[in-house]
Structure formats: C-alpha cells, structure tokens
Amino acid sequence: MRLATFSTIQSPQTALVGVLHNDHLLDLKRASSELDGSQAELPTTMKALLTLGDAGLQAVRRILDAAQAQPEIVTKTGHLLNQVHFLPPIGDADKFLCVGKNYRTHLEELKRTDLIKEMPEEPTAFIKINDCLTGHDSDVVRPPTVHNLDYEPELVFVIGKPAYQVKAENAFDHVAGITLLNDLTCRDTQKREVASGSRFWTAKNSPGFGPLGPYIITMDEVPDPYDIWVTCSVNGEQRMRVNTSEQIWRLPRIIEHFSRLVRLKPGDMFSTGAPGGVAVGKPNAAELFLKNGDVVECAFEHPCMALRNRISA
C-alpha cells in the first residue's frame, strides 16, 4: 500500500490521510465512514493511523478491497492525483533521526572536502526538524545566504510499532514502511558547523530543506530494502544512481543502537544517509550546486516512487 498526507484544491488548509488506488487518493476518514457507518472512523493524521498498528493497516486494506469491488467508494471518497497537493507523509513525528556517514562512497567525498575526518565506530545521527519538511512537487525557497545547495536522496524507514531496547533480529517487526527524503544541504554552512563541532546542523534544517514522500510504501510492497536503486536527477539529467546494498549501517543495527536508550514511537523516522555522487564531491561542484529554477527529482526504481521539487528564489 501507498499512504499519503495531502490536501485538495478545494480545501487547501485541510490535511487528509489517504491511500493510493489507481489514479486516486482515497480519503481514509471518509472511506471508513462510508464502509462502516456507525463504526469508528480512521484517524486524520498519519501518525495516529500508524499508532493503531496492524489493526489500522488492515482497515486500510479493507478500504482498498472495497474500492476494487465498489466503484462508488472511489467516486465518493477519491481525489484525482492532479487535484491534490502532497504534504510530507508525516509532518509531526516525535523524532526524525538522520543517520550520517552511511555510504563508503559518500565518506570518501566528504573526506576530500574536509567535511569528515574519520569513520565512526557506531551509527551516528542528527535531527531533522519538522519545520524544514515539505511535500512532493512543492517549491523549495532558497535563502539568499545559501550559495552551495546540494542534493542528497535518502531511504527513510518509518516506525510502525513502539520500539525500546529492541534486538537487531526483531527490528523489522517495528517498521511500517519506507519513504524518500531529499536531505538538501547548504555546504558552506555545513563546513563551518563541522569545524565548530556543532551537533545541530542548521545547514540541513532551513524551511523546505526536507522534501519528503510522496508516499509511505508499506513493507509488504518492499521486496528487499537493501536492493533498491536510488537516483537523483536535476533538470532531467541523472546525477547519481546507487544501490542501498552499499549502506554500512543497516536498519537492524540502527534500531538496536538507538533503541537502547531512546523510546521509538509510531511515526518516528530514520533516514539512512546520503549515497555517493552528491555535487560537493565532484571536481566541478560549483557548476552542479542547485540554482534557482532547477527541478530536482529523487527516486526509487523498485518499488517505483519519485519525489520532485523545484528550487526557487
């Protein structure tokens, strides 16, 4: 299943939670009401839906099955994709942790540019704040002080069940699905923050510097999260293509490490690091940094999903 948070052209201020059905997003709250009558409706936020655990996802599957058999469900509760505005799938996570230094090719790039000194001995992470998140097809406004804006497509795991002191072999029992982040980074600011030893990177947390989505793909549609080709194109020109098999720290190790002391909750997210091929690691970086008007598309090849944003002034 593919879950999304969206608004409509008719009600742009109202966030809805939906599931993809062909070329429509079904409004889950309305659809559950249509099917169950007096039964409790599904929640109106993605985090609340995930908090229901397996029961919530099973309810969504029943809606999809009903939509297949009863076209009127789509007519009453569906919205064509060209009539919706995608929001971040989860915009109110308690924790969005971004694991850094997780692809060897990217580590080599960072070493060449003095953005890293040595390989850590265990997973490390920084925080992505909710205010920086934006959705698919949204414009990202580049602040006038940002000159070296870089792209970083990243695989994100979404927590679906509470996790505390979880062993690696049980980690995937706590995962609802995956999504996609473009971890936009101001490289000039990042370099200063690395030099100063900052633990909070403003370089990655400016408003709009977290395009996310458009969907959460549930794990039943992910054959192998460590065999996904991740790409990034700018204005139609492919800049990178890398496989998630190259990650150093995989999700079981990540969850075991962080859940030793931190309680993970449904809706929490782990971004798993940038692959090699970003602009800063290339000899012609100055030409490749994002400029106003550039359209950036990050994508998974299988399961197929694309996240597109335009850089604006």
In this structure, what token pair is assigned to residue 180?
């996609």
pLDDT of 106 higher than 60 = yes
Phi first, then psi, for residue 31 (nearest 5°) are: -65, -40
pLDDT of residue 190: 85
pLDDT of residue 121: 78
Tokens 């190259």 appear where?
246
Count other Cβ atoms within 10 Å, centred on residue 125.
21
Which has more pLDDT, 118 or 9?
9
pLDDT of residue 101: 82
66: pLDDT confidence band, cut at 50, 70 and 90? very high
**Mean pLDDT across 64-83:** 95
Nearest alpha-carbon partner for 161 in 23, 77, 259: 259
Q: State which amino acid sits at residue 158.
A: V
Which has more pLDDT, 147 or 263?
263
Phi first, then psi, for residue 174 (nearest 5°) are: -105, 10
Which has more pLDDT, 194 or 244?
244
- In our burial notation (b when 16+ CB lie closer than 10 A, e otherwise), range 3-30 reads bbbbbeeeeeeebbbbbbbeebbbbbbb
pLDDT of residue 88: 98
* In the chain, alpha helices (H): 28-36, 46-51, 54-69, 71-77, 104-112, 187-196, 251-258, 285-288
Q: CATH for 96-312?
A: 3.90.850.10
In this structure, what token pair is assigned to residue 159?
């927590």
In this structure, what token pair is assigned to residue 293?
């008007």
Which has more pLDDT, 118 or 248?
248
pLDDT of 313 higher than 90 = no
Alpha-carbon distance of 69 to 64, in angstroms, equals 9
Domain 2-87 -> CATH class? mainly beta
Alpha-carbon distance of 56 to 49, in angstroms, equals 6
pLDDT of 183 higher than 60 = yes
Same fold, 2-87 and 96-312: no
Strands 229-234 and 237-243: antiparallel
pLDDT of residue 195: 77
pLDDT of 77 higher than 80 = yes
The 10s digit of each residue's pLDDT in 112-135 is 565 555 666 788 899 999 999 999
Host H or E run for residue 229: strand 229-234
pLDDT of 34 higher than 90 = no
Order across the sheet with 237-243: list the strands.
139-141, 305-312, 295-300, 229-234, 237-243
pLDDT of residue 119: 65
- Per-domain boundaries in the chain: 2-87, 96-312
DSSP-derived secondary structure letter, 49: H
pLDDT of residue 197: 75
30: pLDDT confidence band, cut at 50, 70 and 90? very high
pLDDT of residue 281: 86
Mean pLDDT of the residues in the chain: 93
The 10s digit of each residue's pLDDT in 192-229 is 887 787 767 898 999 999 999 999 999 999 999 999 99
> Of all residues in the chain, what percent carry a pLDDT higher than 90?
81
Alpha-carbon distance of 270 to 225, in angstroms, equals 13
pLDDT of residue 19: 98
In this structure, what token pair is assigned to residue 103?
């692809």
List, as one string, the DSSP characters of 119-163: --SS--EEEPPGGGEE-TT-EEEPPTT---EE--EEEEEEE-S-B
Nearest alpha-carbon partner for 179 in 298, 56, 44: 298
